Amino acid sequence: MSIFVDENTKVVYQGLTGSQGRFYGLLNREYGTQVVAGTNPKKAGTDVEGIPIFASVGEAVKETGATASCVFIPAPGVRDAVMDAAAGGVEFIVVITEGVPAHDEAWFFNVLKRDYPNVQLLGPNCPGIISPGKANIGITAGHIAKAGGPVGIVSRSGTLTYQALYELKQQDIGVTTCVGVGGDPVPGTSFIDCLRAFEADPETKAVMMIGEIGGTAEEEAAEFIKSSMSKPVVAYVAGVTAPPGKKMGHAGAIVSGGKGTAAAKMDALRDAGAQVGLNPTEAGELMVGVVAGL
């Protein structure tokens, strides 16, 4: 199986008529994803290489049965785009856009939790999600992912998401689903959300988790692993040499007040029973041993 998306997922691309939305929307369709619609109020009634454009997500859902949305709207419009998707009836919203104001993220995160509890938000500022051989929503290169399980991947870093997929493919290890949760301060989907879903998925037998400095997400994930995970976890935490007080790449990747360091996160994960690699390649090698023992 897979988590969140599969071959039956029908996706509407908000921003399909823009250059980035068009490029990745068509690339995802070429991969095999059911890209059934796009939205642009000014271009409703047109199409992008046969994909119909609607004025709103609600209209797209009504006409195509779309169940998920992928947002390629510029940052100032993301707040309205997320609410259009939720009100329109999709169950899963993937926001690729970076640079979304933190107060907007906090606002729509809380509105979704309050008014649309059945809607799962992924992102903002994330590479998306891929269930290899079934669906690819976002900007992940499909050819670096091997289908067939038995490993699930969850990562805060986009680049390291790709490397994790590639490291496992090099070892001939397949993936059920790979989720890039993004590195912004208010992510819609957490490590724990993904770990819980992987724990419940019968085809996912082990999990690779990629963390980074800043915040407490990895420590919280470690507590969940210790209390609620029966499946083995291999982890890697980026940023061992990051200097305190300096943001490293992501808005959420900052060590402050002596908290959020890679070393502390690695210690917490080890204490929870996870195997921790010192670099992505070592994490991949550790997963080889885990898979061999399944």
Q: Which residues pair with 259 in a beta bridge?
A: 256
* CA pair distance 249, 198, nearest whole angstrom: 27
| Main-chain phi, psi angles of 291, to 5 degrees | -65, -40
Per-residue three-class SS string for 117-171: CCCEEECCCCCEEEECCCEEEECCCHHHCCCCCEEEEEECCHHHHHHHHHHHHHC
Question: Are the C-beta atoms of residues 196 and 224 closer than 8 Å to each other?
Answer: yes
* CA pair distance 237, 252, nearest whole angstrom: 14
- What residues contact residue 151 under an 8 Å CB cut-off, 6+ apart? 168, 173, 174, 175, 176, 204, 205, 206, 207, 208, 287, 291
User: Which residues are tagged catalytic?
Assistant: 250
